[in-house]
Amino acid sequence: MGIEIERKFLLRDTSWRSLADGVQYRQGYLSADVERSVRVRIAGEISTLTIKGASKGISREEFEYAIPASDAIYMLDHLCLKPLIEKKRYRIVVDKLCWEVDEFFGENSGLILAEVELNCPEQIIQLPDWVGEEVTDDSRYYNASLVKQPFAYW
């Protein structure tokens, strides 16, 4: 069993843009409730099915499996809750940590988030200059929540 330990942040500015190229993501949810989420994702050429448990602080159980692209496309088009999440993800390494910056499109246009995965909940990190307010505890910023209440309607 995998454990995801992650913190989320808004961004101060756009200086991060020059630090990485992005990869297009298309993802949807077969289930998106407080206790669990089941996500289908196509990230570039990689298709996955991910099951996540309920959040416990900044941690939650996570299981991820590779699936055929044709299965992912079918599930996204026919089975997943709408709207789908469309975003471009930029991976930026700072002080040996990989920051993932997500620039959202579609009904979540205008939202840009940075997240960082940690080794333990107590891990101390230095925030890059372009990282702003922490929103880890605000469930509106979870991708599964953005399907139910897209950023355009906040």
Is 153 annotated in the active site? no
**Tokens (6 digits) for 80:** 């997943």
Residue range 67-98, pLDDT digits in tens: 999 999 999 999 999 999 999 999 999 999 99
C-alpha of 144 from chain center: 9
Read off the pTM. 0.93
What totals of helices (H) and strands (E) does the chain contain, helices first? Answer: 2, 9
Q: What is the pLDDT of residue 34?
A: 87
Q: CATH number of the domain at 2-153, please?
A: 2.40.320.10
Q: What is the pLDDT of residue 85?
A: 98
Find where tokens 């079918």 sit: 74
- Backbone phi, psi, residue 93, to 5°: -90, 125
Low-confidence ranges of the chain (pLDDT < 70): 1
Domain boundary assignment for the chain: 2-153
Q: What is the pLDDT of residue 131?
A: 98
Greatest alpha-carbon pair distance for the chain in Å reads: 42
∠ CA 16-37-46, rounded to 5°: 55
- Residue of 25, 29, 90, 141 with catalytic role: 29
Sequence-distant (6+) residues with CB within 8 A of 78 are none
